[in-house]
Homo-oligomer: A and B are copies of this chain.
């Protein structure tokens, strides 16, 4: 078995995510395998104080990540501003103060009665699904979801919940597939009803592709008919909403509970929000503590998140519209094509024809335009849209691409 695994290793340092596929050899020790997997997760867009990289240039356009890159300098500058403005009020083990302010605000923004701040999205998803399930044993989700692939099987190992994966290697499942799964769970020798359904959208492992709106309605309608709670892992919900022009609250209205990240693009160093009915959320602070997530003082992270939310929706919409115009212009350059997914969010494929990818990335960095190095996560390079695109005119960006393509 071990011989068939593929492990991705990074190559060129900080601005890499992952790189070439390296098979695990039967002779490899578990320690070697584990130490390799440590490096697998793409870093959020934070850059190092000691070793600044192109992303930390405040004028760079960074086609990587969902938010603007932050540095220790920029993060602490924002904290100083929040302090001056009197916007930091300490919590007591994640209760009260700025943490409660963030919860109240995000519940409102997500159109839910209540919300609870969690230190990570993993904890938000797991605690939410665990609460939905009660004594039911099955959660249905995408095989490509973060919960199924990247959370260490916490559902089964910590919660005695069986994660049932649908839609292998695809971004979403259909209502027909879900219906069949419901049927199987209630026709075995032991009645074993599904306790919750989880939909991740956009899907990180599928280059930000989403569950299309009509399918989302069909799937959530089915859940409501069957009275099975349905959860949205909407870590990047705001990216999906910007791409589809469907307001966030229209999405969240379909779901019993929603998780959104507060560090991927709102500028907090960590944290996320789980929102739902008051009945659902009330008491989850106990579960948060049981999981080891009762952060003694979360107000700094919560304050950064609240500040990052201000004006975010408008700014991201502007960025996305600008990107769409930009990509039309880029497609007039010979040798490159920016391809939009049929059901995508803020991530686009960069198709190269006769252009060396490594050379292109290197040349663009020289012009203050940062792309992820080509890597094994996806067959072609990907362009992520975030608000750093507003730092330069489209004309400048197009000129830089044209010039870099010419040299690559």
Contact = CB atoms under 8 A, between A and B. Distances in A.
Interface of A: 30-31, 34-35, 37-39, 41, 43-44, 46-50, 71-73, 75-76, 79-80, 83, 86, 88-90, 92-93, 95, 97, 118-120, 122-124, 126-127, 151-154, 157-159, 263, 269-270, 282-283, 285-287, 289-300
A41 B86 CA distance: 26
Given A49-B89, A83-B76, A270 B297 contact: yes
Contacts of A37: 286
A271 B154 CA distance: 21
Contact of A290 (B151, B270, B286): B151
A90 B48 contact: yes
B80 A80 contact: yes
A287 B76 contact: no
Nearest to A285: B38
Contacts of A122: 289-292, 294
> Taking the full assembly, how many copies of this chain does it contain?
2
Contacts of A285: 38
Given A73-B83, A76-B80, A120 B269 contact: no
A299 B41 contact: no
A300 B34 CA distance: 26
A151 B291 CA distance: 8
25 contacts: A30-B283, A41-B92, A41-B93, A43-B92, A43-B93, A46-B297, A47-B90, A48-B90, A49-B88, A49-B90, A73-B83, A123-B291, A123-B292, A123-B293, A154-B292, A158-B159, A263-B297, A269-B299, A269-B300, A270-B296, A270-B297, A291-B292, A292-B292, A292-B293, A293-B293
